[in-house]
Amino acid sequence: MAIAHHADIARLKRTHPEIFTRPLGERLRNWALWLGFALAVGFSLWWIDASPMRVINGLSKLGMLVGLMVPPNPGDGFWDFSYAMLETLAMAFLGTIIAAVVAVPLGFLGAKNIVPNWVFHFTIRRFFDAFRGIDGLVWALIFVSAVGLGPFAGVLAIAVGDMMVLGKLFAEAIENVDKKPVDGVRASGGGGLHVVRLGVLPQVFPVMTSHVLYFFESNVRSATILGIVGAGGIGLQLSDRIRINNWQQAAFIILMILVTVAVIDAISRRIRAKLI
Amino acid sequence: MSAVSPAGSPLAANRQGERIASFEGRYRREQNVRRLWTLGYGALFVLALLASVAVSDFSIPGLVQGLPKAWNYIAGTLPKLSRATLGADLADWFWGLRYWLRLLFETILMGFIGTVLGGVLALALCFAASRNLVTNSAIYFMARRTLEFLRTVPELVFALIFVFAFGLGPFAGVLAIAIHTAGSLGKLFAEVNENVDERPLEGVRAAGGNWPMVMRLGVVPQALPNYASYLLLRLEINVRGASALGIVGAGGIGQELYVAIRQFEYTDISAIMLLLIATTSVIDITCETIRHRLIGHDLTGAD
């Protein structure tokens, strides 16, 4: 029985080879892709100078640093750190709010169903995308140069970095609204603004709020590091402590960041669950 | 109009009126409660806003003075181009093009290899962090907390520490990217794993497969397109992130941008920023195209 079975399989392999192996072209292409990928990885590792010796040396140094971090200890800086953390939260909050306020009109301008001119639509969307290419820290560098050291530069960096991205998300939310309420408002004689206020806004408001909350969460994370380039908040304290080799305080600050981010995430998740 | 009245008479109408009145009363009460909640949340929001304004030195006069300053600064970074000498002006503006392109290339490489290494680590951790795949809750808990730690510590903080341990240069930056990527991709991979179809897993188990076999033959084939898609999404994010790591000495174009900003080399700033925007746009568009071909819809929830 088993022998007959094997014979069957052998016969099937002969008559229908394509079921058992993939076509040669496809196999060759897959091999070429994997080879290219392996070469790219190898080249990258060579470029960044990743030798095993370096890894081992670095790891032993890293182990030493971790040893220096234990136990985390705020020393006499606890209140300074707490205030800096508050500053970080304030920067994230204000920056997100400003970005959201600016993003609402941008979103309406960028939505195809509100402004149906496709040249305009294409231009404004590319404009939104272009801003996304710049990291928040780079904006912070620029604003520190422009308006001086301190949290104000951080607020501006967060606001400018986010407004275009939020604008794009808002525009997408507006494009996805249900047509029926809009038609209803129009059928009962509403003008353009009525359509926006009574037909579109009630549908998109929860989505927008949810996006804004999500951005607030992520901005709390990024605001913790803006201080490294002088834009206020806990990052300044952290980079200072690392610079002067005070690893116990540095570890304490990192723990503070972890706890704060976890608390903010939990609160924001609850509000978002309620909204949608 | 007598006291004894069938349905449709004033008494019934009266009863109906009462019911409407009671309904309206309840409606108004509900509305009041809702208004109170809205007011409460509104007050909380305003309070938070005021506190933020106080703490962050934000002021309207400051904004009014600051915004034109910021605008002047940005406008000041743009060079004067005249039509007569356009070629020479452009060459002057992008005088460091070759060097910058090299650094941009390094930035892309850092993003790429950081994503690959982080992806490998994420793949190693994600199965233990999927609730449907592990029965031991201690392992699940440990895996989840590890991933959380890796992704909550900001990339730049890892970079600061790694520059200390591994020396200046892209190697420290790549490690920082890889660690952070492992945390966020691990979580996303685990979520993909939790949504796989149970039946193939049972099939592998029924045929006598052990745990690694169930993962390899049951889970991975189902989850692979989503893994790849998240990897590409992360690649976009990491190339952008790599451009900032140079600020703390961890390689890439960021170092050069930092120097330009610190030394007020205005036209260099705009030139590097434009190159950066062009590079990230190209990578975004490429990755997006591949992602759409892989799974045909957008992913969300990657931070």
Residues A125-134 have pLDDT tens digits of 888 887 777 8
**Peptide bond before residue A71 is cis, with ω within 30 degrees of 0:** yes
Q: What is the pLDDT of residue A159?
A: 92
Q: Which of A90, A135, A258 sits opposite B152 (nearest CB)?
A: A258
Whether residue B123 sits in one domain with residue B263:
yes
Helix (H, G, I), strand (E, B) or coil at B130: coil
Window 193-252 of B, Cβ < 8 Å to A: 240-241, 243-244, 247-248, 251
Range 244-273 of A in CB contact (< 8 A) with B: 254, 257-258, 261-262
Chain B interface, best mutation among A43, A44, A69, by max B CB count within 10 A:
A44
Q: Give the Å distances, CA to CA, from B250 to A143, A195, B176, B242, B245.
A: 22, 51, 9, 9, 5
Instruction: Of B44, B165, B294, give the one whose Cα is nearest residue A242.
Output: B165
Same domain, B154 and B195: yes
Find how far residue B188's CA is from the centre of its chain.
Answer: 12
> What does the pLDDT read at residue B1?
45
User: How many CB atoms lie under 10 A from the CB of residue A269?
Assistant: 13
Whole-angstrom CA distances from A108 to A2, A99, A122, A200 are 70, 14, 14, 10
Do both B53 and B106 map to the same domain?
A: no
Model pLDDT for residues B163-172, shown as the tens digit of each residue: 989 988 899 9
**In this predicted structure, what is the pLDDT of residue B300?**
47
Amino acid B38: pLDDT: 87
Separation of first and last alpha carbons in chain B: 73
Residue B145 has what DSSP assignment?
Answer: H
How far apart CA B171 and CA B251 sit, in angstroms, is: 8
Contact yes or no for A239 and B160 at CB 8 A: yes
Distances (CA, A) of B25 to A92, B15, B17, B190: 43, 15, 12, 50
Check whether residue B49 and residue B87 sit in a common domain.
no
What tokens does B94 get?
Answer: 């992008």
Give the C-alpha separation, B40 to B37, whole Å. Answer: 5
The mean per-residue pLDDT over the stretch A175-201 comes to: 86
Chain A nearest C-alpha distance from B84 (Å)? 28
Could you please report the per-residue DSSP string of A70-86? Answer: PSP--TT-HHHHHHHHH
Task: Judge whether A49 is closer than 8 Å to chain B, CB to CB.
Answer: yes
Of B51, B248, B280, the CB nearest to A228: B248
Report chain A residues whose CB lies below 8 A from the CB of B273.
134, 138
Q: Are residues B269 and B183 located together in one domain of the fold?
A: yes
Task: Tell if the CB–CB gap between A48 and B257 is shorter than 8 Å.
Answer: no
Residue B266 lies in a domain: yes
A80's CB contacts (< 8 A; 6+ apart) are A237
Q: Chain A residues with CB inside 8 Å of B69's CB?
A: 146-147
Residues B140 and B254 in one domain: yes
Question: Which structure tokens are listed for A202?
Answer: 């009630």
pLDDT band at A124 (very low <50, low <70, confident <90, very high): confident
To the nearest 10°, the Cα dihedral for A116, A120, A124, A125? Answer: 60
Per-residue pLDDT of chain B (303 residues; tens, 9 = 90+): 444 545 556 777 788 888 888 889 999 999 999 899 889 989 998 998 998 888 887 777 777 877 788 888 888 888 877 777 788 888 888 888 889 999 999 999 999 999 999 999 999 999 999 988 888 889 999 999 999 999 888 899 999 899 989 988 899 999 999 999 999 999 999 999 998 898 999 999 999 989 999 999 999 999 998 899 899 989 988 998 999 898 888 888 988 888 888 888 888 888 998 898 889 888 888 888 888 887 655 554 444
pLDDT for position B96: 82
Cβ atoms of A158 and A99 within 8 Å: the answer is yes
Q: Are B17 and B106 part of one and the same domain?
A: no
Which residues in A232-253 are b (16+ Cβ under 10 Å) and which e? bbbbbbbbbbbeeebbbbbbbb
Rounded CA-CA distance B114/B241 in Å is 11
pLDDT > 50? residue A167: yes
Query: Alpha carbon B174 to chain centroid distance?
Result: 19
Provide the CATH number for the domain around residue B110.
1.10.3720.10
pLDDT at B297: 52
**Cα A79-A84-A87 angle, rounded to 5 deg:** 130
Based on its alpha-carbon atoms, the radius of gyration of chain A, rounded to whole angstroms, reads 28
Tally of domains within chain B: 3
Does residue B210 fall inside a structural domain? yes
Taking alpha carbons only, the member of B252, B219, B234, B243 closest to residue B187 is B234
Q: In this structure, are B151 and B220 located in the same domain?
A: yes
Do A236 and A154 form a contact (C-beta atoms < 8 A)?
no
Q: Which domain holds residue B260?
A: 96-295
Please tell me if residue A219 touches chain B, with a CB cutoff of 8 Å: no
Please give the average per-residue pLDDT across A135-162, as a whole number. Answer: 87
Rounded percentage of chain A residues whose pLDDT exceeds 70: 98
Q: Closest Cα partner for A226 from A131, A132, A152?
A: A152
The number of angstroms, rounded, from the C-alpha of A62 to the middle of its chain's C-alpha atoms is 28
Cβ contacts (< 8 Å) between A65 and chain B: which residues? 161, 164-165
Tell me yes or no: is domain A78-275 CATH 1.10.150.120: no
Tens of pLDDT, residues A99-120:
999 999 998 888 887 788 888 8
CB A74 within 8 A of CB A84: no
Choose the closest CB to A145 out of B154, B167, B261.
B261
* Closest alpha carbon to B176 in B241, B122, B228, B227: B241
Amino acid B231: pLDDT = 92
Mean residue pLDDT across chain A: 86
Q: Is B288 on the interface with A (CB under 8 A)?
A: no
Kindly state the tokens that stand for B275.
């190159």
Spatial separation of the C-alpha atoms in residues B162 and B146, rounded to whole Å = 19
CA–CA distance, B246 with B237 (Å, rounded to integer): 16
Give yes or no: residues B190 and B84 share one domain. no
- State yes or no: pLDDT of A39 exceeds 90: yes
What is the rounded (10 degree) CA torsion for B185, B190, B196, B199?
140
Contact B284 A137 (CB under 8 A): no
Give domain status of residue B4, yes or no. Answer: no
Q: How far is it, in rounded angstroms, from Cα B201 to Cα B164?
A: 45
Q: Output the pLDDT for position B296.
A: 58
B17 occurs within a structural domain: yes
Domain positions in chain A: 2-50, 78-275
Residue B142: predicted pLDDT: 93
What would the pLDDT profile of B268-287 be if each residue is shown by its tens digit? 888 998 898 889 888 888 88
> Which residues does chain B have within 8 Å of residue A59's beta carbon, measured at their own beta carbons?
165
pLDDT at residue B303, as a whole number: 43
ipTM of the predicted structure?
0.81
Same domain, B161 and B106: yes
